[in-house]
Amino acid sequence: MLCSFVVLYLLIVLPEPGLGKQPNILFILADDFGYNDVSWNNEDVFTPNLEKLGREGVILDTYYASTRCSPSRGALLTGLYPHRLGIQRGNIGTFRPTGLVTDFKTFPEILQAAGYTTHLVGRWHLGYCHPSYLPTRRGFTTFFGQFSQQTDHYSRIYLENEEIGEGYDLRRGENISYEGAGKYSTHLWRDEAQSLIEGWNSSNSTPWFLQVSFTAAGAPYQVPESYVKRYKKRRFRNLSEEDTIRYGMISAVDSAVGDIVKTLKQRNMFENTVLVFSSDNGVGGDVGNLPFRGSRGTLWEGGVRVPALVSSPLLNLDEGYTTRSMVHITDWFPTLLKLAGVSSDVQTDGFNIWEALQQREEFSRNSLVYSLDQDDKSGHLQHGIREKNIKFVWGNPDKFEVNKRFKKDVYHLFDLEKDPTETENLASQYPELVEKMKEKVKTLVKDVKPAFQPNRYSLGYPKYHDGVISTGWCETDWWKILWRSLN
């Protein structure tokens, strides 16, 4: 079935007969896992727990997230492409006076209204400078984790330079927490998730949504020695020291996922739980994204095509399988809300894929938006879309840079079925197809919200906040000014 790029309005109905009570939802979001960073795509990587879940459920082989962390997280929680949220250009970095637009309802907010308790463990990374941006104000009943970007995996300290000062970043709710001092981050998030599950009664009718956002395998590259021993053997001698440690971090996450699933089964909760695993974007280097071209932050396949799976007894599969149907991170929004039995008019760019997963059918989605962005200072643009097997990029596929002179008529066209690694630009050979794709982009950009990625504010520097990554130093509602011209 053909699908339109035009935003959908979804009427979510009650669960179909036979689904039973509202399912629990466990969403595992890994940081910087590339396509080549899991054992089902690369036998040299040790991820047996994730692979077992995938082999028992569905491995999503053609799965897309956004180019960077914050855009992917925003797309997940709102079901909207980042260009509708004004965060398509990049991360909401530390000390930037911005956050996820509060006018959009989030997935956990909607679940709360449907009777769910909602919980976030690990990384937030959608803004913290104003209290209204915090996860506890955006639909999460509880939060234990970090507001901002990456810190040291043991100390929870962010240090860029001495002038800015060290910034400690760990919160329980909105309060500073010093729990787990010195504990490795992956173990900290695992232990918190297990503690939450152990505190819930399996016979209780209250369903839950738990998002565990691991800070691995993002830099700094740190991991206990036990996880890197296997990667130091002769067969891995061509790995750099950095990749050796990074693969150890990946194996640590895999082990943590196995422990969490074990706890679910011990508590008799796994039978009524839907588990999703997804990465937020590709790796900054190249090895983890192979065989694809490019890295995190780019529109090349290596930056956005990442590992993902869904696993649950509720799928009612005789055996697991791998699908090559196109899936986007926004698809979880309508899919999981449908399973939760929520009745609501919700604007979404995603598609409900649950029934197709169960029936081993092709999905409704056959097109997606990689990114739509244009610098409001220089006119420099970067638009990327896919329709069926055709990928079209208007502008530079590499990392978006502002204040660059606009490069007119720069096009990339690829047939991903024949050329998944994007080695041959077909734009000059098929000018009519280029014009057709340009017209699609021109239609789509009517819905683009100007991106807001301001420079950092020194007001947020931890040296002015007793050495802590803190909130309360910026104003909100930036979109009411920036998007005024669109009304």
DSSP summary character for residue 200: S
User: Rounded to an integer, what distance in angstroms lies between the CA atom of residue 102 and that of residue 89?
Assistant: 18
The H or E element that residue 59 is part of is strand 58-64
User: Rounded to an integer, what distance in angstroms lies between the CA atom of residue 242 and that of residue 239?
Assistant: 8
Q: What value, to the nearest 5°, has the Cα angle with vertex 75 and ends 361 and 388?
A: 40
Cis before residue 75, ω within 30 degrees of 0?
no
Which residues lie closer than 8 Å to 105 by C-beta, 6 or more apart? 78, 139, 346
DSSP character string of 358-406: HHTPPPS--EEEEEEEE-TTT--EEEEEEETTEEEEEE-SS---TTPPP
Amino acid identity for residue 43 in this structure? E
273 burial (CB, 10 Å; 0-12 / 13-18 / 19+) is buried
Contact indicator for 285, 292 with CB cutoff of 8 Å: no
* C-alpha torsion sign, points 28, 30, 35, 39: negative
Cis before residue 220, ω within 30 degrees of 0?
yes
69 catalytically annotated: yes
DSSP summary character for residue 277: E
Of 83, 119, 125, 412, the catalytic one is: 125
Of 69, 129, 153, 383, the catalytic one is: 69
153 catalytically annotated: no
| Residues assigned a catalytic role | 69, 125
